[in-house]
Structure 1
């Protein structure tokens, strides 16, 4: 008889979530009775069709939206209490197009959240930002460049360094490889995978890219019908009986991306 494996601690717990926009008769729900759990150390990919509220769900985890019903708990606290001071040290966010401050150079972009705290001397803030700069594969000479002078891949790396400046235990990624060419996407996935392992991060990412999903995700949660309809390892989710899942995973790109995956039995 083998000993039961103790589940990793919960980092995100969502129960009975309703995400509602508008008021009165004009209101509509993007999520209804949505449940989801993200455990420490995993990388969960959120997939779903247009309008299923993937990015809305990230905003709920960040505390930028409040549930109309239900609850969102992040790192043991209600997410709605994290939208203000202190949120940056608990949750990092990589935005789809980087969202760098155009008037700041690379180092100032990376250091922004730490600088805003005002609790450390400028020299220490700069040193911390340089550590993150190197961590994402950039060189010291890149520190003084402006965002307009960066390639798409470098913008992603700077944005990732900025998201990590406070050493958050949870990192959210919105379409992390969007806008990158195949080689750039592969390199960025390799970097994220390396940092995930080295830092013991918990990551939640929204992605439409199957190669990114299969390269990074330890589990996949599918949003459809206003809730999470299935959560499992990628190979098993791909076999789930639902029209969106079939179209997403069983098309030509999906079959090609899954060709080299281990079987569900091998992953068990």
Structure 2
């Protein structure tokens, strides 16, 4: 049987602050199968981005295990991680001293296994794939709009053709029109390339438009996992506040059948 792309088993994430241990995740379990687009949501400090760092191998579990494509994420090494996992950081994290094309080509250049001309050709293909005009290739990051920065960063994340793509707040800082265009691009690439995608986002429109599954992090573990409709009926305080408040009700109009939660969900909520 094919292993899941991501398998997190009984994860403990622990940080040391001011002489004491702070537990972020406790016995957290999560499986992500090939081809899914899973969105991770949770309150501030719930450890959403920490989970992405665990999948990248940048953080080591205090207990439990995190596997990517059947291998411990922490043991993939620099080159192994680059070929298996692409990462789109919240603000793009482009190198300010490099042109757009050089930013995209960076990971391939680091391998030192291909001639530079071929590397630049591959980088140009990725640039076009994310909808950037070839004239953007030699621009500097400071000359780009917010939407162009996101696209260039996405091209860089895809340069090694990784089967797993991680997205940290992919539409943060974009105006509504640019956010809609970027969501459409992500949806298209997810389907056309057969990517498995893990996304952290607090944006309800992005969440409901793109997700094939939503995983909610609260109380140090996953408290709900499923489709938007399945998650939104779970009687957890964070879920009520996040999905069923005024913003959540507006965003739920994106669903084919907008959810009308039972009145019992609000029975213990103070007015």
1:177 alignment partner in structure 2: 171
- TM-score (ref. length: structure 1): 0.94
Counterparts of 1:256 and 1:8 in 2: how far apart (Å)? 39
CA change 1:245–1:119 in 2 (3 A) is: same
Aligned residues: 259
Matches within 5 A, 1:4-153: 9-22=3-16, 26-153=20-147
Paired position in structure 2 for 1:4? none
Deviations 1:101-156 (A, max 9, x none): 00000000000000110000001100000000000001111100000000000000
Offset from partner CA, 1:158-194 (integer Å, 9 cap, x none)? 0000000000000000000000000010000000000
Distance 2:96 2:77 in 1: 24
Provide the secondary structure at the position in 2 that maps to 1:129: helix
How far apart, CA to CA, are the structure 1 residues paired with 2:141 and 2:258? 43
Show CA shifts across 1:61-90 (max 9, x none).
Answer: 000000000000101100111242321010
Any conservation in 2 of the 1:196–1:202 contact (CA below 8 Å)?
Answer: yes
Q: Deviation digits for residues 206-236 of structure 1, max 9, x if unmatched? A: 0000000011000000000000111101111
- TM-score under structure 2 length normalisation: 0.93
The answer as to whether partners of 1:94 and 1:176 remain within 8 angstroms in 2 is yes
Question: 4+ residue runs of structure 1 moved beyond 4 angstroms?
Answer: none
> Could you say what the CA RMSD is over the residues aligned between the two structures, in angstroms?
1.6
Q: Which residue of 2 aligns with 1:254?
A: 248
**Secondary structure at 2:132 match in 1:** coil
After TM superposition, the structure 1 = structure 2 runs for residues 145-164 of structure 1, keeping only pairs within 5 Å, are: 145-164=139-158
**Range 35-44 or range 82-91, more displaced:** 82-91
The 8 Å contact of residues 209 and 254 in structure 2, kept in 1 or not, is answered as no
* Distance in 1, Cα, partners of 2:49 & 2:2: 25
Distance 1:149 1:160, change over 3 A: same
Distance 1:231 1:153 in 2: 30
